[in-house]
Amino acid sequence: MAHPKRKISRTRRDKRRTHYKATTPQIATCPTTGEAHLYHRAHWHEGKLYYRGQVLVDTTAAENAA
């Protein structure tokens, strides 16, 4: 029976055994702004931070007051 000449490291062995592939992230479209963003992530649009179609942070009022 054949024997390897050198021990194969755990990293090299695991890289060979893996079947995971890189996947593209899912993109959602905001119902309010129509902006494309990652699912379950807040996104900025024209100085406002949106999450699930609602404004969380509005920096435009702070900029106008200054």
Tens of pLDDT along 22-66? Answer: 888 899 999 999 999 999 999 999 999 999 999 999 998 777 776
Beta bridge partners of 21: none
Q: Three-state SS string across 38-63, please?
A: ECCCCEEECCEEEECCEEEEECHHHH
The H or E element that residue 35 is part of is none
- Please state the domain extents for the chain: 30-66
Question: What is the value of pTM for the model shown?
Answer: 0.59
Tokens (6 digits) for 1: 């029976």
